Chains A and B, each alone.
Chain A
C-alpha cells in the first residue's frame, strides 16, 4: 500500500506510518517490530483478541508512546505534537460516552474543539447526525440510546470535521443492516476519494465487503499485508482451488488435464470438479475458451479458498 506514484518532484508523506514499532508493557508484548505505511484507500485490520489491534490504535491516536520505532501521522509524531488530530476521526470500540449529553451537544462540542465557531459547529453537527440517521433523536440523551444508535453517534463525531484519516474499531456492532450497509458504503466511497481509512472487525464477511486491502496481526506481529488475493497467491503451500459445478465433471476434467498449470483434479461430489493449480491467473485466463469449446455446461465457478476465512485458516496453522 505504498503510494504508486514515483514522481520525484513531490514528497509523498503517507497518512499513517509505523516504522519498526514495538510496544511492550513490562513483560507483555503488545506489538513486535511492526512496519506499515498506508496512504489513501480503505484498509482492513484483522486479528484475534490480544493480537495487538488496540495497542496499534492507541499508538496511532497518541495515547501510547512506542517502546521502539516511530509512529507518524501525516509525517508528524502524534505523541509530541497534537497538530494532526484535526485531520483524524477515531471511532473507538468501547468508550463510555457522556450519557447525560444529547447527541447534538456531543457532536457540536467535538466540532468546536476543532476550532469551528458555534454556528458552524452546530450546522456541521446537524448535518453529520442527519447523515447517520440520528436527526430525529439528536436531542435525546446519549444514555437513552440503544447500542446501534450510540455507535452511529460515535461515527458522526468522527466524521464531523471531514477527516483525512479515519480509524474505526468494530464500527458496525449493534447496527441494523440498513445502517451497516450505509456505513460500509460511505467507507468505500470516502476511500476512493483519497481519504485513508482503517477498519477493524471480527466479522470477516464484513471486511470482505468493504475492502480487499488488509493487514493481519497475530501475537503482536505483522502476519500479512496487502491485497487479499495477492496474499493468497503467496501461500503456495496451499495450491489454489477452482471449483466448477457441472453435470459432467469427468468429461470436463479431461479438457483441463493437459493444461500446463493444472496439477490435479478431484471430484468431491457428484456434480463438482475441483481443479488444483499453482497459477490461478493462467488457468482462469484460459478457462472461458476451454469451457466454451467443450460444449459442457457449467453452472457455477468458484475459488473456494480465495477468501479471508481460508487465508486466516492457512496462516494460523501451526500457530
Chain B
C-alpha cells in the first residue's frame, strides 16, 4: 500500500492509500500457442430486420409531494376503485361477478318485501318488511346470508390482499417509499372493510330505507324502528371488522390467494358447525364461544333485544370476540413487519 493524500481514495481504513500488486492473467481455452489446425464453418444468411431509433431526453420534475394522508388515500383508492374500474388493483372478473351476485342475493328481503307491497299480498309484506327479527336476520341470520353470502364474500375480498404483495414482491414498492407499515395495514384493512360493509351494512340500509320509501311509512314508524336498524348496523360492522381482521391475518401468513380464502371459510363455517354438533350432542352451547359468527350473533341478539339462543351470558361472547380480533391483528402486524424490501 502506498499513501498519497492527494488521492481521492481510502483502502483498509487509510486515507490516500491504494491497491498495488499485479493483476491476474489468464488465457482462454483453445488459445494454445499458435492456432494451426483450427476448423470453422459459417452458414449462409436469410432475411433482414428493421431497427429503431429514438431520442432519450431526461426530464426533471420539481413538483411537491403531499403528506401522509394523501398517500394513504391513494392506497385506499387503489384497492377500492379497482373493484369498479380499470387502472387500479385488478380484482379478477370471477371475483367481481361473484360479489355482484352475492350483493343481489343479499337484497332478497328487499325484493320480496317490495313484491309483497306491489302485489298487495299481505303475507309477503308482513313476512319480509323490516321488523326487529328481519333486521337482525339481514345481518346476523345464519341462513341464508351468513352461510352463503357473507363468509364467501369476505373470503373473496381478503384472498390476495396481503399475500400478493409478498408473492409479487410489491412490498418493496410500498416500503421503499415513505409509507408506514401501520398505514399500509390500516388502509388495506379499511378497503376490505368498506367493500364488505357495502355488502353487509349497505344492503341493510338499502333494505330498510328502500322498504320505508316503497311502503310509504310515516315518521312514527321511523322513530320506532330506527334504533333497531342502528343496532343491526352496528352488529353488522362488528361482523365486518371481525371477518376482515381474521381474513387479513390469514392473508398475511400465506403467499397465495386460495389458502386465506379457504381457511377463512373453514374457520367461520367450521367452528359454527362443530359448535352446533357439540351443542346437539351435549346440550351445551359453550363451544359457540369459538365461533366468530355466533359470538357476534349473540351480541347482536342482546343489542337488539332478541331472545338469546345461547345459554351463556353475552359478556362471554364479547370477551371472546375481542380476543379473536386481538389475536388476528397481532398476527397481521407481526407478519407485515416482516415483509421484505431487499433480500440477502
Per the bound structure, the CA–CA distance linking A224 and B343 in Å amounts to 41
A224: B residues at CB distance < 8 A: 40-43
A181: B residues at CB distance < 8 A: 24, 26
Stretch of A161-169, A184-192, A256-264 on the interface side: A184-192
CB distance from A197 to the nearest CB of B (A): 8
A2: B residues at CB distance < 8 A: 39
B343: A residues at CB distance < 8 A: 146
B30 within 8 A of A: yes
Per the bound structure, the CA–CA distance linking A235 and B42 in Å amounts to 8
The CB with the most chain A CB atoms within 10 A, among B35, B38, B45, B344, is that of B38
A175 within 8 A of B: no
Q: Interface code B38-58, partner A: CB below 8 Å = 1, 0 otherwise?
A: 111111011111000000000
CB distance from A24 to the nearest CB of B (A): 17
Is B35 a contact partner of A229 (Cβ separation < 8 A)?
yes
Given contact pairs A223-B42, A225-B40, A209 touches B35 in the complex (Cβ within 8 A): no
What is the chain A residue whose CB lies nearest that of B39? A226
Per the bound structure, the CA–CA distance linking A114 and B155 in Å amounts to 47
A213-242: which have CB < 8 Å to B?
Answer: 213, 219, 221-227, 229-231, 233-235
B85: A residues at CB distance < 8 A: none
CB distance from B339 to the nearest CB of A (A): 16
A231: B residues at CB distance < 8 A: 40, 42
Q: Which of A210, A226, A230, A317 contacts B29 (CB 8 A)?
A: A210
Given contact pairs A146-B343, A318-B45, A319-B46, A227 touches B40 in the complex (Cβ within 8 A): yes
Is A211 a contact partner of B40 (Cβ separation < 8 A)?
no
Interface size class of A (residues with CB under 8 A): 35 or more
B42: A residues at CB distance < 8 A: 223-224, 231, 234-235, 315
Is A319 a contact partner of B47 (Cβ separation < 8 A)?
yes
A4 within 8 A of B: yes
What is the chain B residue whose CB lies nearest that of A147? B343
A122 within 8 A of B: no
Interface size class of B (residues with CB under 8 A): 20 to 34
Interface of B is mostly: loop
B28 within 8 A of A: yes
A208 within 8 A of B: yes
Is A230 a contact partner of B31 (Cβ separation < 8 A)?
no
B48: A residues at CB distance < 8 A: 318-319
CB distance from A280 to the nearest CB of B (A): 11
Given contact pairs A185-B26, A213-B30, A221 touches B37 in the complex (Cβ within 8 A): no
What is the chain B residue whose CB lies nearest that of A145? B344
What is the chain A residue whose CB lies nearest that of B40? A226
A160-214: which have CB < 8 Å to B?
Answer: 181, 184-185, 187-188, 191-192, 208-213
Per the bound structure, the CA–CA distance linking A133 and B37 in Å amounts to 38
A188: B residues at CB distance < 8 A: 26-29
A89 within 8 A of B: no
CB distance from B26 to the nearest CB of A (A): 7
The CB with the most chain A CB atoms within 10 A, among B24, B27, B31, B46, is that of B31
CB distance from B262 to the nearest CB of A (A): 22
Is B38 a contact partner of A230 (Cβ separation < 8 A)?
yes
Per the bound structure, the CA–CA distance linking A221 and B38 in Å amounts to 22
Per the bound structure, the CA–CA distance linking A224 and B45 in Å amounts to 11
B46: A residues at CB distance < 8 A: 219, 319
Is B35 a contact partner of A41 (Cβ separation < 8 A)?
no
A159 within 8 A of B: no
Is A230 a contact partner of B39 (Cβ separation < 8 A)?
yes
B38: A residues at CB distance < 8 A: 226-227, 229-230
CB distance from B34 to the nearest CB of A (A): 10
A213: B residues at CB distance < 8 A: 29-30
What is the chain A residue whose CB lies nearest that of B344? A146
Is A221 a contact partner of B43 (Cβ separation < 8 A)?
yes
A315: B residues at CB distance < 8 A: 42, 45
Per the bound structure, the CA–CA distance linking A222 and B45 in Å amounts to 11
Per the bound structure, the CA–CA distance linking A315 and B42 in Å amounts to 9
B261-303: which have CB < 8 Å to A?
Answer: none
B40: A residues at CB distance < 8 A: 224-227, 230-231, 233-234
A225: B residues at CB distance < 8 A: 40-41
CB distance from A295 to the nearest CB of B (A): 28
Per the bound structure, the CA–CA distance linking A2 and B35 in Å amounts to 16
What is the chain A residue whose CB lies nearest that of B41? A225
B1-41: which have CB < 8 Å to A?
Answer: 24, 26-31, 35, 37-41
- Those 5 A-B pairs whose CB atoms lie nearest each other, nearest first: A226-B40, A227-B38, A230-B40, A212-B30, A211-B29
Interface residues of A (CB under 8 A from B): 1-2, 4, 41-42, 146, 181, 184-185, 187-188, 191-192, 208-213, 219, 221-227, 229-231, 233-235, 315, 317-319
Interface residues of B (CB under 8 A from A): 24, 26-31, 35, 37-43, 45-49, 343-344
Beyond A2-B39, A224-B42: 19 further Cβ-contacts under 8 Å? Answer: A42-B29, A181-B24, A184-B26, A188-B27, A188-B29, A191-B29, A209-B26, A213-B30, A221-B43, A222-B43, A223-B42, A227-B30, A227-B35, A227-B39, A231-B40, A233-B40, A235-B42, A318-B45, A318-B47
